[in-house]
């Protein structure tokens, strides 16, 4: 019966990922899409990337409630056992159902969590991803997107 409860949460989470993930695509900061279209890529500086990130954060603050729902759904649905942010260093412990998601779905979930924490604390750099069973770090999510180990 517990598996059916977990599946109940997994389906809405995947639907939210599709809708929400498309609205908050992550960028490595070097793309002209987010910055001034008149600037050449070689003229795009770190300061420009910071300004663009700040602008995206401010424009998307209203998503915080939805991001919190996604975090709660991941915990209740069995995708993660812990999602915390001690000392401005957020981490997540993922469980076996997380590995059944596609990389795009995984990235969309991590994007939601990362933006949730960076909106409140600009000092957050990356979200560290750990495996619940082994306790090992399996990846990170930050400005460059999802980086998963082999």
Query: Any idea where the domains of the chain sit in the sequence?
Result: 2-24+60-148
Measured distance CA(117)–CA(78) in Å, rounded: 21
pLDDT digits 0-9 by tens, 43-61: 767 777 777 777 877 777 7
Per-residue confidence (pLDDT) for residue 51, from 0 to 100 = 78
How much is the CA Rg of the chain, to the nearest whole Å? 16
Cβ pair 123, 87 in contact under 8 A? no
CB within 8 Å of 111: residues ≥ 6 apart = 21, 24, 25, 26, 141, 145, 146
Measured distance CA(19)–CA(30) in Å, rounded: 25
Comparing CA positions, the residue from 46, 143, 138 lying closest to residue 95 is 138
pLDDT, mean of residues 129-139: 96
**CB-neighbour burial class of residue 32 (10 A; exposed 0-12, middle 13-18, buried 19+):** middle
Per-residue confidence (pLDDT) for residue 62, from 0 to 100 = 82
Comparing CA positions, the residue from 53, 70, 39, 71 lying closest to residue 144 is 53
- Paired strand residues for 128: 91, 140
pLDDT digits 0-9 by tens, 16-34: 555 445 444 444 443 334 4
- Paired strand residues for 139: 129, 148
pLDDT digits 0-9 by tens, 73-110: 999 999 999 999 888 899 999 999 999 999 999 999 99
């Amino acid at each position: 019966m517990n598996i059916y409860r977990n599946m109940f949460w997994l389906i809405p989470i995947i639907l939210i990922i599709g809708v929400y993930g498309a609205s908050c695509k992550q960028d490595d900061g070097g793309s002209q899409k987010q910055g001034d279209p008149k600037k050449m890529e070689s003229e795009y500086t770190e300061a420009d990337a910071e300004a663009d990130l700040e602008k995206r954060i401010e424009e998307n603050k209203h998503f915080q409630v939805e991001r919190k729902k996604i975090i709660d759904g991941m915990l209740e649905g069995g995708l993660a056992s812990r999602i915390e942010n001690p000392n401005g260093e957020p981490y997540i412990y993922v469980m076996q159902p997380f590995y059944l998601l596609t990389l795009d779905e995984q990235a969309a979930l991590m994007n939601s969590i990362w933006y949730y924490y960076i909106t409140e604390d600009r000092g957050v750099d990356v979200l560290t991803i750990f495996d619940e069973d082994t306790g090992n770090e399996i990846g990170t999510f930050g400005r460059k997107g999802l980086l998963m180990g082999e």
